[in-house]
Amino acid sequence: MKLYGYFRSSATYRVRIALNLKRIAWQAVLIDLRAPVSAQHSPEFRALNASGLIPVLIDGGQIVTQSLAIIEYLEETHPEPALLPRAPLERARVRALALAIACDIHPLNNLRVLDYLRGPLAQDDGAVNAWYAHWIATGFGALEREAQRLSGDGRHLYGSAPTLADVCLVPQMANARRFNCDVTPYPTLRAICAHLEALPEFARAAPQAQPDAP
């Protein structure tokens, strides 16, 4: 399988973790998001994903986009180890945690949103950083309460084995730290991430472990 991504892309980081957990062999194709390269806007990449966003997975010549759709595709084609529990209600709960990150936090702080704030809306770095920190605090505040209720062992967001929810949490925490957000109010989330980041499948997927990292 080929994974189009970038070391710092947290949506790509999610897929890297899932591929590693499922022991699937994969090859990275670099899409440098930094201006002036901005490879996500090239016609070649837009032909793979019209939205110009990474990650994109190529499997047997077929294109799959959207990190959560990619991970669910991997879950269906490579069921073990499962990233979703078996019972429908538990699956819904894990998906809800993952979507709270992937839909309610991540898109608000994506590169193109920050670029729009800086460019057309003429916001300075202070305002952009305040925007970023606000949406992390809003999302993580709720997630911390959910983690206290749903974590089975204080080392996983749901239950006591890695799930889709953990696959989304660790990259979002890395983003929060990169933007110097205060994460001290989220001790449960921090403990979960500390445990998961030490696992080899998560460590090999980390931004700093990627060949395109500086």
Binding residues (CB under 6 A) for ligand GSH: these are 9-11, 33, 40, 53-55, 66-68, 102, 110-112
Query: For ligand GSH, which is the closer residue by CB, 46 or 145?
Result: 46
Query: For ligand GSH, which is the closer residue by CB, 67 or 163?
Result: 67
Query: For ligand GSH, which is the closer residue by CB, 8 or 22?
Result: 8
Query: For ligand GSH, which is the closer residue by CB, 9 or 188?
Result: 9
Query: For ligand GSH, which is the closer residue by CB, 57 or 189?
Result: 57
Min dist. Cβ of residue 12 to ligand GSH (A): 6
Min dist. Cβ of residue 204 to ligand GSH (A): 18
Min dist. Cβ of residue 175 to ligand GSH (A): 8
Phi then psi for residue 166, to 5 deg, are -65, -35
Cα dihedral angle (100, 104, 109, 112), rounded to 10 degrees? 120
**Can you tell me whether residue 144 is helix, strand or coil?**
helix
Min dist. Cβ of residue 179 to ligand GSH (A): 13
| Alpha carbons within 13 A on the beta-carbon side of 64 | 18
Min dist. Cβ of residue 123 to ligand GSH (A): 16
Count of positions (residues) in the chain: 214
106: tokens are 């991540």
Residue where the block lists tokens 């998001």: 33
Cα dihedral angle (180, 10, 151, 99), rounded to 10 degrees? 110
